[in-house]
Structure 1
Amino acid sequence: MKITVQRSGGVAAITRVWTVDAASSEDRQRWMPIVEACPWDQVSSRRQASRQSATQTGGEADRFVYSIRAGQHRAMLPEAAVTGPWHTLVEHAKVEGRETLRR
């Protein structure tokens, strides 16, 4: 299973991407509970995520948006919504993933 967390936006407008390849059975067993804990079926569409971000941040500019992929799952979340199991997934990917930058 491939897990990708992409963070875009912010003041510098640099996109950071963390990628984890959970290829071995041990890796999949470790990552599956983290991935499955996230409420994938409750995620808004990309357009709604942008609108939700503006609402949750009081219209503040330069906030991050996270695009998260794990196997067949996809989610687009404003920074303020990366809490609970989403936060756990994002933080694990940042620590264990391979990071790349995009401008």
Structure 2
Amino acid sequence: MKISVERSGGIAALTRVWTVHAQTQSAKSQWQPIVEACPWDAVPKTVRAASAAASGNQPDRFIYSIRAGQRRAALPEQAVTGPWRVLVDSTRAASEDARAKPERGQETG
């Protein structure tokens, strides 16, 4: 299962992408509960829809585009709470850890 989180927007309008490749059974067992905890059907699927759904005019806020296998979600920064926050933070941490320590052979990137 490939999990990716793309954060776009903000003052500088920079885009950051964090990706995890859960390929072994152990990795899938670790990531599956995190992915399953998110309410995928309750949120927009596209960045455009997420931007339109954001309450009020909030310039310079981040928009997160999240993918896990075949699932898609797009959330404004203020909606990345609860299980979404866990998924985003876990993906970011795993991806950054893998970049810092590539010799460990982790399944992230």
TM interval, short-chain normalised: 0.7 to 0.9
The SS at the match of 2:75 is strand
What is the rounded CA distance, in whole Å, between the counterparts of 1:67 and 1:37 in structure 2? 17
* Cα deviation 1:47-74 (Å, max 9, x = unaligned): 3311122x1xx31210000000001110
User: Structure 2: which 5+ residue stretches go unaligned?
Assistant: 100-109
The SS at the match of 1:3 is strand
CA root-mean-square deviation: 1.6
Aligned partner of 2:21 in structure 1 is 21
1:95 aligned partner, one-letter code: A
* Counterpart selection for 2:74 from 70, 73, 76: 76
Identity %, equivalent residues: 57
What TM-score comes out, normalization by structure 2 length? 0.83
* Cα deviation 1:65-101 (Å, max 9, x = unaligned): 000000111001111110000000000001001599x
Of the two structures, which has the highest relative contact order with CA contacts closer than 8 Å and spacing of 6 or more? 1
Runs of 4+ in 1 over 3 A off after TM superposition: none
User: Structure 1: which 5+ residue stretches go unaligned?
Assistant: none
2:9 aligned partner, one-letter code: G
Alignment of 1:35-54 (within 5 A): 35-46=35-46, 47-53=48-54
Q: Does structure 1 retain, via aligned residues, the 8 Å contact 2:45–2:72?
A: no
- Relative to its length, the structure with more strand (as a share) is 1
What is the rounded CA distance, in whole Å, between the counterparts of 2:30 and 2:45 in structure 1? 28
The SS at the match of 1:85 is helix
